[in-house]
A and B are shown apart, each in its own frame.
Chain A
Amino acid sequence: MLEAKGLTKHFGGLVAVADVSFSVPEGKIVALIGPNGAGKTTLFAIIAGFTQPDAGRVMFLGQDITFMAPHRICALGLVRTYQIVQPFGALTVRENIAVGAHLRLKSRKAALAFAEEVARQVGMGDVLDRAAAVLTVAGRKRLELARALATRPKLLLLDEVMAGLNPTEVEEIVQVIRAIRDSGVTILLIEHVMQAVMSLADHAYVLNQGRIIAEGHPHAVAEMPHVIEAYLGHGAAARLRARAGGAA
């Protein structure tokens, strides 16, 4: 469904994304993990049309979307959420979600009604008339998800929608995401909460310093020594192994 080939992005001297290729098959949940500053969000920005890559191509549903404007990419059915939430502060939750709903629905009434439906789907049914600016962190994360969902995407890009949530809230959002996948939406998610990645993702890519260093089933990649090192520093895998050996 989504195919990225050789994506590269420099910011001045810094290589944020270096020759990254990966694909997301239809109907799956694919996770993109990696330490802070690995280039994950930059990759999302490139895919969604907000950042122009220095090299490489992005194909979506067989179409080249590399230099397409964000709103056109969204219209094709690819929508992103923001890691740093971007609510329309002065608008209510219902109005926020309706902005997304309007992509497919011209009528105001229909968009507001659909917004309400989506809000219930993500558990925001009881805050519909609250201004987005007064929501809690968890509420704002959900709002990001709801607005994106209201555009009726084929592929949903979720950037750390679980960051800052407590374990109960994480469990709730995991259920919501699974339900979205079951309704036929393909998902690519960036996530640091490993237990969520483990339980949700069919496939994971590990990004480190702009490069993909591993891919495979989430359980498998989490065991790979060089992945552990990317997260915990050089020699960490060996130390862990030694400790595990000592305990046994």
Chain B
Amino acid sequence: MTARTAFAVIAFAAALIAPFVVHSDFWMGFLITTLLYAYMGMAWNVLGGYAGQVSFGHAIFFGTGAYTSTILHISFGLNPWLGMVAAAVAAGLVGALIGYLSFRYGLRGSYFALITLAFAEVFRILANSFEFTGGGVGLYVPLKIGWWNLQFPSKTGFYYLALALTCLSLAIGAWLENSRFGASLMAIRENESAAEALGVNAFACKLKAIILSGAMMGVGGTFYAQHYLYIDPTIAYGPGVSVEVLLVPIIGGLGTMLGPLLGSAVLHGAGELARRLMGDVPGLDLVFYGVLLIVMVRFLPEGVIGLLRRRHKPGAAHA
């Protein structure tokens, strides 16, 4: 067993017993948020990190997922677990739509980023004005506690679900790093026309990536709605989620398997620390994110994982 697998096994074991050790609801909530964002950070990472298609509007998938399962549950009594599947499908479809429109017409870089931002804003405004989304008032998920109803009696249930999602996201990262699909995405990120010259169908690959990314975010949206039992247009489609899911992999390490997990831990850990030190000033988190982003891009462009790699393999080729 290498040091790396040993470390992975210990970390996983620690994650499994955490709920028996951590008794405060606050810290359980902290862990759940960290894991959920590790998962959603990977969702963003599939498209932004591996395929290099940076999105500023990933909340569109998150919000679509949250509204899909919640509306289906309230209006048609659909079980939220099935709602979670429906959320993945709906968010994946939205991904297919945005991807088709953007990639067919060759939108790249900041143009693509702005299109995603614009789409998320449009959805936020629509959610604000329709009745079936509850308009600006939002929607309350009816309280019916029970695991079959995706409402757990304590934080522990949500914790394990978030842990499972995080493990799923790590598996997806590992798959991308060891598959043809992942290799194609990275080639597209590095140089799209060179990739096409070597037979990569860039349009199809980017479309698949945005569908996978969107579907993953949609599941995150359902998780959020079931956990907090409430959503409104700003929570669902506002810039908060969009910014956080892109910060997480940027901080941890873009286009890497462990980046989102590390990034989420650092982001939420440092965020909590800042709150403790400076109190709960409104808007402080946004200032904090901004500063963190500038520091990361300036001093650690490869993210936390780049720092770890440099430590472990001095002189190794990681450009």
Near A by CB (< 8 A), chain B positions 165-219 give 178-180, 183-184, 186-187, 190-191, 193-202
| Distance between Cα atoms of A107 and B198 in the complex (Å) | 16
Q: Is the CB of A147 within 8 A of B317?
A: no
Nearest CB of chain B from residue A53's CB, rounded to whole Å: 18
- B319 within 8 A of partner (CB): yes
Take A88-B190, A89-B190, A106-B180 as given contacts and tell me if A134 and B199 are in contact as well, using a CB distance cutoff of 8 Å: no
Q: Is the CB of A80 within 8 A of B183?
A: no
Q: Is the CB of B317 within 8 A of A48?
A: no
| Distance between Cα atoms of A87 and B194 in the complex (Å) | 8
Closest to A49 in B: B196
- B276 within 8 A of partner (CB): no
Q: Is the CB of A108 within 8 A of B183?
A: yes
Take A102-B184, A131-B317, A134-B319 as given contacts and tell me if A50 and B198 are in contact as well, using a CB distance cutoff of 8 Å: no
User: What is the size category of the interface that chain B forms with chain A?
Assistant: 20 to 34
Q: Is the CB of A99 within 8 A of B319?
A: no
Nearest CB of chain A from residue B261's CB, rounded to whole Å: 21
User: What is the size category of the interface that chain A forms with chain B?
Assistant: 35 or more
Task: Name which of A21-29, A90-98, A196-204, A227-235 contacts chain B.
Answer: A90-98
Q: Is the CB of A108 within 8 A of B178?
A: yes
Q: Is the CB of A99 within 8 A of B317?
A: no
B198 partner, pick from A91, A95, A99, A132, beta carbons under 8 A = A99
Nearest CB of chain A from residue B314's CB, rounded to whole Å: 15
- A82 within 8 A of partner (CB): yes
Closest to B254 in A: A90
Q: Is the CB of A74 within 8 A of B317?
A: no
A91 partner, pick from B180, B190, B196, beta carbons under 8 A = B190
| Distance between Cα atoms of A102 and B200 in the complex (Å) | 9
Nearest CB of chain A from residue B272's CB, rounded to whole Å: 33
Q: Is the CB of B183 within 8 A of A131?
A: no
Q: Is the CB of A102 within 8 A of B317?
A: no
Q: Is the CB of B198 within 8 A of A74?
A: yes
Near B by CB (< 8 A), chain A positions 114-154 give 129-134, 147-148, 150-151
Q: Is the CB of A75 within 8 A of B199?
A: yes
The residue among A70, A130, A148, A151 with the most chain B CB atoms within 10 A of its own CB is A70
| Distance between Cα atoms of A79 and B198 in the complex (Å) | 7
Q: Is the CB of B193 within 8 A of A131?
A: no
| Distance between Cα atoms of A103 and B183 in the complex (Å) | 11
B200 partner, pick from A86, A99, A107, A134, beta carbons under 8 A = A99
Beta-carbon contacts of B281-319 to A below 8 Å, as 1s and 0s?
000000000000000000000000000000000000111
- A218 within 8 A of partner (CB): no
Interfacial chain B residues near A91, Cβ < 8 Å = 186-187, 190
| Distance between Cα atoms of A82 and B198 in the complex (Å) | 11
Q: Is the CB of A82 within 8 A of B183?
A: no
Q: Is the CB of B190 within 8 A of A90?
A: yes
Interface contacts beyond A91-B187, A99-B183, A99-B195: sample of 7 additional A-B pairs, CB < 8 Å, sorted by A: A70-B197, A82-B197, A88-B190, A99-B187, A131-B318, A131-B319, A147-B198
Q: Can you list 30 A-B pairs, Cβ within 8 angstroms, ordered by A?
A: A50-B196, A50-B197, A69-B201, A70-B193, A71-B199, A74-B199, A79-B199, A81-B197, A86-B194, A87-B190, A88-B187, A88-B195, A89-B319, A90-B190, A91-B186, A91-B187, A99-B184, A99-B198, A100-B198, A102-B184, A102-B199, A103-B199, A107-B180, A111-B180, A134-B317, A147-B194, A148-B197, A148-B198, A150-B198, A151-B199
Top 8 A-B pairs ranked by shortest CB distance? Answer: A88-B190, A74-B199, A103-B199, A86-B194, A131-B319, A133-B319, A131-B317, A70-B196
